[in-house]
Amino acid sequence: MDMVTIGSITEAPGAAGAALPEAPTAVVGAAGAGDTAPPRAPAARTVDAVKVYGRGEAEVRALDGVTVDFEAGHFTAVMGPSGSGKSTLLHAVAGLDGLTSGRVFVGDTDLGTLGERRLTRLRRDRIGFVFQQFNLIPTLTALENIVLPLRLAGRRPDPVWVGEVVSRFGLDGRTGHRPPELSGGQQQRVAVARALANRPEIVLADEPTGNLDSRRGAEILSFLRQAVRELDQTVVMVTHDPVAASYADRAVFLADGRIVDELRDPTSDSVLDAMRVLGG
């Protein structure tokens, strides 16, 4: 791989080691959403989404007519008991799992109309992914991991944008280190930075704090929220943790493959109450 240089990246705004945002209480709205701002089209949405596995007595309706918008410039948490369909919904929005019926849109693109090649290109260029496992290449430096998707796509990284992301996530002094030389929290920060490196239309996060302790998990959640409010990103996160959901602008609840509740400006207590009702 060609040498990756950061040039002006270290001059990007923000300082490494800056204090993390405090845990949220209830904050109305999201970054860039003022009272007089015109409404924005959803970053992604599903319409009557149905996903069926198996047949006959073994049939399981993982999604059962789900219609939901994921608002641009907002942080949405998707919650529900085990088997509720939340991961299936995330995979459908990502184009990783096709629907039995219904439609999925990223922006104004109907994923059901795309062949595999165009779907792969859409995932690469317009969606960022954050997984519970960090999925970093151990022989590459942190910076090389961050820009790897762009390199594979034959695109030149924007040093100003990548520098902004690196600085915001407190990685200025760690970009030359390889994953084994980083803590678990730092590795997940690299994974989040990688998801943002190509300025995606939407970031999909599947239990991103599942392998982290509470302190490092809070750091990652703060960075995801910061990406939404200060970098105007859109994040959809699947989680089972009420505290994690409290970092979001909105929590959507699934049960038996259906949307059954929604909270704006969720707190850990309000989410826990809603989960109790659902039996989660």
Phi, psi of 170 (to 5 degrees): 65, 35
pLDDT of residue 217: 87
Residue 48: how many other CB atoms lie within 10 Å = 13
pLDDT tens-digit profile of 151-207? Answer: 888 889 999 999 988 988 889 889 999 999 999 889 988 999 999 998 899 999 999
Indicate the range of 15-19, 119-123, 129-133 predicted with least confidence: 15-19
Mean pLDDT of the chain: 85
Structural domains of the chain sorted by starting position, each given as residue range(s) with its CATH number in brackets: 71-80+117-278 (3.40.50.300)
CA–CA separation, 128 vs 59, rounded Å? 32
Q: Report the pLDDT averaged over residues 82-98.
A: 93
> For residue 127, what are its two tokens?
């969606």
Q: Return d(Cα 26, Cα 125) in angstroms, integer.
A: 33
Phi, psi of 130 (to 5 degrees): -130, 120
224-251 core/surface letters (b: 16 or more CB in 10 A; e: else)? bbbbbbebebbbbbbbbbbbbbbbbbbb
Sign of torsion over alpha carbons 141, 235, 28, 24:
negative
Q: pLDDT by residue (tens digit) across 41-74? A: 899 999 999 999 988 888 899 999 999 999 999 9
What does the pLDDT look like over 122-161, one tens digit per residue? 998 999 999 888 889 999 999 999 999 898 888 899 999 9
pTM: 0.83
Phi, psi angles (nearest 5°) of residue 70: -110, 110
Tell me, what's the pLDDT at 4?
A: 52
**Pick the residue with more confidence: 278 or 275?**
275
Q: Which residues contact 120 (CB under 8 A, 6 or more apart)?
A: none
- Please answer whether residues 24 and 246 qualify as being in contact, where contact means their C-beta atoms are separated by less than 8 angstroms: yes
In the predicted structure, residue 280 carries a pLDDT above the cut 80: no
